[in-house]
Structure 1
């Protein structure tokens, strides 16, 4: 098979990581893999793993971007891929118009992946126009069914995102060197129950709910310390400043630490007593939840969206209702006191995601052989 994946750029993120994983698997199985994007820091890895990268900016939000429709159509006629797999809305529109104008007997088969719970609109509806539509969770499946009734649900395939257990192994322990530096950098964690919330500083991640919770736990005399792990969002600096000020004003500086962006999240999970997922908007999947549970670290999260699905399957003890501050404190206290840890992640696996994605391609390509 010859497969083309299309997305805005390769600068990092969950969609980009999934694209590279599929590309690598295609090459391993003897297929030809091409990725079209505006480029980015992951291109080097993509090419090193055997795929071809075509630099094409199809993700800039401008009507001028639509000039690429005819060039893309010409390129597809020339390259003759078997599958065109689109993962983002604006590139999907370019691809859709290019694909629609081709001879149905000569064009590639069209696959789209609905990676997020986009704002409901005709613009977002393009992600449901594939001959096969991949939904990354049951939450996304329901989103498609409820908001785009014209979609033939017989063409929708549930393919959960997957975690690599070698990357987030059960019972993982960091090196002595890392632990030594960690203790030196964060001596305030000594003797405390460490509660970690990972994610960039954006309002939807529920940082204020964490602050409310820590305030109550500290007042109750529980020896806790919260880590907020994530960098500032360049467009939301005012929100970050608001959080810093609030922690200071509430007298919680000794109980809450902002670590900034970190690349050692696996190590941080391993020294955490509890990981939190408090996104106030339902997430399409919830990668941090699956990662932490995969390592056997307890997770407490709001029981909605993809996070609720993962917790239901792997660690139901950690489910807590959205916007119920009292129950959040109660759930966190019970999990910390119980000492009950998850048994890992046997369900949301990278290998399963890859097998199922390639099976979707196989449905559309008659002469498909693995």
Structure 2
């Protein structure tokens, strides 16, 4: 098979990571892999692993992006892929218009992946107008069924995103030099019970809830320290400043540490005693929660979205009804007083995700 994946850019994020993982699986299985995007820092890795990258500015939510329809159509005709796999709304619309100029019998099969709970409108509906629509969790299946009734049920295929258990092995511990460097950079973390809130700095991730938790916890457990692992881009700097002022006002500066964007997320998850998932909105999957459980760190999070599906399957004692802070504090207290064990994770594997996706490609290619 020859598969062309389309997404806005290749810098960072779950969509980008999933694209690289499927590209790697295609190459490993002897297929041809192409990716179309505006480029980014992951292009070098993508190409080193055997995928051809075609750079087109298909990333901007602007009518000017329609100027790329001709170039995209030309690339499709030149490469003649068996499958086009669109992973975002702007590339999906551009692909839609590009295919209109290609005779029906020459068009590739079209697959989409719904990675998010997009705003419900005609613009987002394009993600449900493919031959097969991949949903990354049961929550996404329900979102599509509820909001896009014109999407045939038999075209929706649930394929959970997955992680490589070898990259996040059960019981993993960071090397001694990692601990030495962390305690050098952040001496306040030594000999503490670490609560970790991973994720970029944005109003959606529940940082205000973390501050509220620490207000309660510090009174009874002064050895508990919260670590926020995630950076703030330029547009979110004002929000980060607002959080830090809030922390100072509540005299929590010595209880909460921001470590910024990190490439060693596995080490931070393994180092932590409990990982929190406090997003204000449902997440479609919850990859970081899965990574934490995979290394053996308990996760406590709100009962919604993909995180709830993961916790229900792997660590139900960490499930908290949404916004029930007293219950969350009770469960957290039990974890502080008695360390909890997490069983080895056998589900939600990267291998399953790749096998199921390639099997879907193959089944689609058999139909014409």
TM-score by length of 2: 0.97
Aligned-pair CA distance for 1:59: 1.4
Equivalent residues, number: 368
Taking the aligned partners of 2:294 and 2:221, their CA distance within structure 1 comes to 30
Partner of residue 2, structure 2: 2
- The 8 Å contact of residues 317 and 335 in structure 1, kept in 2 or not, is answered as no
Partner of residue 44, structure 2: 44
Q: Does 1:76 align with 2:76?
A: yes
Aligned-pair CA distance for 1:222: 5.0
Taking the aligned partners of 2:306 and 2:165, their CA distance within structure 1 comes to 19
Partner of residue 100, structure 2: 100
The 5-angstrom pairing of residues 299-314 of structure 1 reads 299-314=299-314
What is the DSSP-based 3-state SS (H/G/I as helix, E as strand, rest coil) of the residue aligned with 2:197?
strand
What is the DSSP-based 3-state SS (H/G/I as helix, E as strand, rest coil) of the residue aligned with 2:164?
coil
The 5-angstrom pairing of residues 153-168 of structure 1 reads 153-168=153-168
- The 8 Å contact of residues 3 and 34 in structure 1, kept in 2 or not, is answered as yes
- The 8 Å contact of residues 35 and 51 in structure 1, kept in 2 or not, is answered as yes
Taking the aligned partners of 1:170 and 1:100, their CA distance within structure 2 comes to 49
Q: CA RMSD in A?
A: 1.4
Task: Note the residue ranges of structure 1 that are not aligned, 5 or more in a row.
Answer: none
Taking the aligned partners of 2:198 and 2:246, their CA distance within structure 1 comes to 19
Taking the aligned partners of 2:236 and 2:71, their CA distance within structure 1 comes to 37
Taking the aligned partners of 1:366 and 1:81, their CA distance within structure 2 comes to 14
Taking the aligned partners of 2:195 and 2:337, their CA distance within structure 1 comes to 13
Aligned-pair CA distance for 1:102: 2.2
Partner of residue 339, structure 1: 339
Q: Does 1:349 align with 2:363?
A: no
The 5-angstrom pairing of residues 242-261 of structure 1 reads 242-261=242-261
Partner of residue 212, structure 1: 212
Partner of residue 130, structure 2: 130
Q: Provide, for residues 225-253 of structure 1, a one-character-per-residue CA deviation record: whole Å limited to 9, x for no partner.
A: 00011111321222111110111111111
The 5-angstrom pairing of residues 1-370 of structure 1 reads 1-221=1-221, 223-366=223-366
Q: Which shifted more, 302-311 or 336-345?
A: 336-345
- The 8 Å contact of residues 84 and 110 in structure 1, kept in 2 or not, is answered as yes
Taking the aligned partners of 2:227 and 2:188, their CA distance within structure 1 comes to 11
Taking the aligned partners of 1:215 and 1:247, their CA distance within structure 2 comes to 9
